[in-house]
């Protein structure tokens, strides 16, 4: 068998006549089937993953791109993982491996070739039919607990370049041939990635997802015909574009500019990094354009945002204001035009600059600035800023477990809120951070205490910390945790202490974040926002994570919602009175007369 020599056809040679156009019923059916394949892949990853970041926090995504490297389906994935990136990665896979064969699998984590950041290992699997023709590419992407960085964290905020960062970079490297794993690569990883069994387990989980997806797409292609599937993708893109046009035409027309600032960390200017986004909604042309060129150059730190994440963050900012039933795919994306800066801190940073924390910190600033730029155009566009990542409650912790004597490393997801408000609804509480869209799970205290030698003393929402508004942002959350019978190293890159999450269209800002070490004596000692610290036995770490910004004037908030927040202990009567202009009695009733007065006075 000269399988290897058979040239893979990726060109559009069609032997059969083009199948007829599909009607609206058939289109819906095929779209559903592709969706079903994605969820099967996702289910496999969740259930079989080994690291907590995967099997507890669900920090993974699965998607399908066409043979032309266009995103076809990625519903229910982590937004920051997929809107852009899979297309770029599939392109680089085809460029580096022009002769794709059935059973090939490629490992890709290079932010310089379309991946989000090095911690998101991605497996790409081309779907190749019996004749050797490439039709689709499947992606299974999962945030790893460790990737061999120079320090035990997957977010190396202060790394001046990829060398200091230390991650192993795989620009679409072949890891399986004819469905067999290439052990060379596995051995390499086992030597350079902490807790290698855990990594390998996660690798197997991703491989299982890719195999299951491939099996399904092959079956689908054989059942309905490959040509039919390609007609479907074209028509589905057209449909999605039409839906996008209709959605944009319903929006207010105009241009808005907004800024969002990330606090300083080592390697950034002392005033922090300010991201500026200029958004234009053109209802006549049915186009949304976002310009991100007016931004600083790439910096010698790990906060640079890869091209995939820059594009994706802008698009999340946009799609958070678009009718949610519009499919997110290459068809709908035809109505979005992005302008990026080559060599920018956000935009297209160039090798060897580090993009270690590319999915979170500044990416969130891009999204937040874009959302507030849209809000500046008019109600109901945009939203309040979504709170900042990543506080100590979401540290990567490591050390030696005294119960087993074995080393451990993992990212905790012990406490996050962060939701920002929109024009018609209060925040979704557990957003984690902007790019995550609330998809992550939050750790069970009990589960973390079993898997990690820690104790979680406190986890509670913080009253009066929400971004006020006609609709309000999420309150912040306080978590206090520490090691048990051992010392523990914790790494985090927090934000939101100096520059807090801002409200939109008159909405209030959220309260600031903070982080402390509680010494054995009980004394609190403030920690740096970007830290890699040892917490000793008997000490605790106190994490104050911020909530999100509000939307609209708080004095226009429905008094009943204010009353309910007071009753629930989320805001104080004082705040109800002073910020919302609502008077709540000691028995939690609205004092209508006083409320009217308060609201009139503040006009």
Residues in 145-204 that interact with other proteins by CB under 8 A: 197-198, 201, 204
Give the residue with the Cβ less far from other proteins, 256 or 327: 327
Tell me the backbone φ, ψ of residue 161, rounded to 5 degrees.
-160, 180
The pair of structure tokens assigned to 602 is 């503040």
Rounded Cα distance between 341 and 277, Å, is: 12
* Residue closest to 366 by CA, chosen among 468, 437, 302, 295: 295
Is 343 a binding residue for other proteins by CB under 8 A? The answer is no
Determine the Cα–Cα distance for residues 241 and 231; give it in Å rounded to an integer: 15
Enumerate residues 109-148 that contact other proteins by CB under 8 A: none
| DSSP helix/strand/coil, 296 | coil
Of residues 533-552, those binding other proteins (CB under 8 A): none
Residue ranges in 241-280 that form contacts with other proteins under rule CB under 8 A? 242-243, 246
Quick note: the x/- pattern for other proteins over 209-238, rule CB under 8 A, is: --xx--------------------------
**Nearest distance from C-beta of residue 12 to other proteins, angstroms:** 25
Q: Which of 399, 437, 491, 548 binds other proteins (CB under 8 A)?
A: 437
Q: Which of 191, 447, 520, 524 binds other proteins (CB under 8 A)?
A: 447
Determine how many CB atoms are found less than 10 A away from the CB of residue 597: 13
Using CA atoms, how far residue 283 sits from 9, 250, 254, 367, in Å, is 41, 8, 8, 21
- CA 317 from chain center: how many Å? 12
Dihedral, CA atoms, 546, 550, 555, 560, nearest 10 degrees? Answer: -80
Binding mask 21-60 for other proteins (x = CB under 8 A): --xxxxxxx-xxx-xx--xx--xx-xxxxxxx--xx-x--
Determine the angle formed by the axes of helices 307-319 and 86-96, rounding to 10 degrees. 150
Complex with other proteins: residue 450 or 592, whichever CB lies closer: 450
Q: Which residue in the set 159, 162, 169, 207 belongs to the binding site for other proteins (CB under 8 A)?
A: 207
Among residues 218 and 432, whose Cβ is nearest to other proteins? 432
DSSP 396-411: EEEEEETTTTEEEEEE
Least distance from C-beta 327 to other proteins, angstroms? 9
Q: Checking DSSP bridges between strand 273-282 and strand 173-177, what pairing results, if any?
A: unpaired
For 217, the token pair is 């797409």
Mark the segment that binds other proteins (CB under 8 A) among 149-157, 206-214, 356-364, 540-548: 206-214
Out of 1, 11, 446, 523, point to the residue binding other proteins (CB under 8 A): 446
Least distance (Å) from other proteins to the CB of residue 443? Answer: 9
x-marked contacts with other proteins along 58-77 as a string, rule CB under 8 A: x-----------------x-
**Which residue in 151, 186, 287, 455 binds other proteins (CB under 8 A)?**
455
Does position 524 interact with other proteins (CB under 8 A)? The reply is no
The distance of closest approach from Cβ of residue 94 to other proteins in the complex, given in angstroms and rounded to an integer, is 26
Restricting to residues 581-600, name those near other proteins by CB under 8 A.
Answer: none
In what helix (H) or strand (E) does residue 316 lie, and over which residues does it extend?
helix 307-319
Instruction: Name the residue nearer to other proteins (CB basis): 451 or 516.
Output: 451
484 counts as binding other proteins under rule CB under 8 A: yes
The Cβ of residue 585 has, within 10 Å, a number of other Cβ atoms equal to 12
Sequence-ordered list of residues with C-beta below 8 angstroms from that of 497, at least 6 positions apart, any chain: 263, 512, 513, 514, 529
Segment 277 to 336, residues that bind other proteins, using CB under 8 A: 316, 319-320, 322, 324-325, 328
* Smallest distance from other proteins to CB 347, Å: 24
CB nearer other proteins, residue 190 or residue 602: 190
567 binds other proteins (CB under 8 A): yes
Place of tokens 């069609």: 14
Backbone angles phi, psi at 31, to 5 degrees: -60, -45
Residues 354-413, interacting with other proteins (CB under 8 A): 383, 413
Size of the site for other proteins (CB under 8 A): 91
- Residues 419, 547: contact at Cβ < 8 Å? yes
Strand, coil or helix: 412: coil
Residue 514: alpha-carbon gap to chain centroid: 22
Q: Is 419 in the site for other proteins (CB under 8 A)?
A: yes
Residue 495 binding other proteins, by CB under 8 A: no
What's the min distance (Å) between Cβ of 122 and other proteins?
18
Contact residue for other proteins among 416, 505, 575, 577 (CB under 8 A): 416
Contact 52, 143 (CB under 8 A): no
Query: Which letter does DSSP use for residue 136 in this model?
Result: E
Residue 249: other Cβ atoms inside 10 A? 13
- Please name the residue ranges forming H helices in 112-225: 162-165, 183-192, 196-224
Give me the least distance between CB of 389 and other proteins, in Å please: 14
Residue 439 found at the interface with other proteins (CB under 8 A): yes
| Candidates 388-396, 476-484, 510-518, 577-585; binding stretch for other proteins (CB under 8 A) | 476-484
């Amino acid at each position: 068998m000269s399988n290897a020599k058979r040239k893979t056809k990726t060109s559009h040679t069609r032997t059969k006549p083009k199948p007829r156009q599909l009607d609206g019923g058939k289109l819906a059916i095929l779209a559903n089937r592709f969706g079903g394949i994605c969820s099967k892949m996702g289910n496999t990853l969740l259930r079989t993953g080994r690291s907590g970041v995967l099997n507890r926090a669900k920090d993974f995504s699965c998607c399908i791109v066409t043979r032309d490297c266009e995103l076809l389906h990625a519903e229910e994935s982590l937004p920051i993982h997929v809107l852009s990136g899979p297309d770029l990665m599939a392109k680089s896979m085809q460029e580096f491996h022009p002769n794709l064969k059935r059973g090939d699998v490629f490992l890709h984590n290079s932010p310089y070739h379309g991946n989000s950041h090095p911690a998101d290992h991605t497996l790409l699997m081309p779907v190749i039919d019996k004749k050797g023709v490439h039709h689709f590419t499947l992606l299974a992407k999962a945030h790893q607990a460790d990737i061999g960085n120079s320090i035990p964290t997957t977010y190396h905020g202060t790394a001046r370049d990829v060398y200091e960062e230390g991650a192993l970079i795989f620009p679409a490297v072949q890891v399986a041939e004819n469905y067999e794993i290439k052990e060379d690569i596995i051995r390499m990883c086992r030597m350079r990635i902490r807790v290698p069994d855990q990594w390998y387990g996660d690798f197997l989980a991703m491989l299982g997802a890719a195999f299951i997806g491939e099996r399904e797409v092959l079956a689908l292609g054989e059942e309905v015909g490959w040509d039919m599937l390609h007609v479907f993708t074209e028509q589905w893109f057209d449909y999605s574009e039409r839906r996008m046009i209709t959605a944009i035409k319903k929006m207010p027309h105009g241009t808005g500019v907004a800024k969002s600032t990330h606090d300083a960390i080592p390697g950034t200017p002392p005033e922090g990094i300010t991201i500026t986004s200029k958004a234009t909604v053109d209802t006549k042309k049915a186009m949304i354009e976002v310009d991100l060129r007016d931004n600083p150059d790439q910096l010698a730190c790990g906060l640079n945002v890869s091209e995939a994440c820059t594009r994706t963050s802008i698009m999340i900012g946009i799609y958070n204001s678009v009718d949610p039933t519009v499919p997110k795919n290459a068809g709908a994306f035809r109505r979005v035009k992005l302008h990026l800066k080559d060599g920018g801190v956000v935009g297209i940073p160039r090798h060897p600059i580090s993009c270690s924390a590319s999915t979170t910190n500044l990416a969130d600033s891009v999204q937040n600035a874009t959302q507030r730029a849209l809000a500046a155009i008019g109600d109901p566009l945009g939203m309040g800023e979504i709170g900042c990542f990543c506080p100590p409650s979401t540290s990567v912790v490591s050390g030696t477990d005294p119960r087993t004597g074995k080393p451990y490393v993992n990212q905790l997801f012990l406490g996050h809120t962060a939701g920002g408000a929109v024009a018609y609804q209060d925040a979704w509480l557990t957003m984690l951070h902007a790019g995550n869209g609330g998809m992550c799970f939050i750790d069970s205290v009990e589960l973390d205490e079993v898997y990690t030698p820690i104790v979680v003393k406190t986890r509670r929402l913080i009253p009066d910390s929400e971004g006020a508004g006609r609709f309000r942002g999420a309150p912040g959350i306080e978590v206090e945790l520490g090691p048990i019978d051992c010392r523990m190293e914790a790494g985090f890159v927090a934000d939101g202490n100096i520059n807090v999450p801002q409200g939109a269209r008159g909405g209030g800002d959220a309260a600031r974040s903070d982080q402390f070490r509680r010494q054995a004596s009980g004394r609190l000692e403030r920690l740096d926002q970007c830290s890699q610290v040892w917490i000793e036995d008997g000490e605790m770490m106190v994490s104050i994570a911020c909530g999100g910004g509000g939307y609209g004037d708080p004095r226009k908030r429905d008094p009943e919602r204010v009353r309910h927040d007071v009753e629930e202990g989320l805001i104080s009567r004082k705040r109800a009175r002073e910020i919302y202009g609502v008077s709540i009695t000691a028995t939690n009733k609205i004092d209508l007369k006083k409320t009217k007065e308060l609201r009139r006075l503040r006009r």
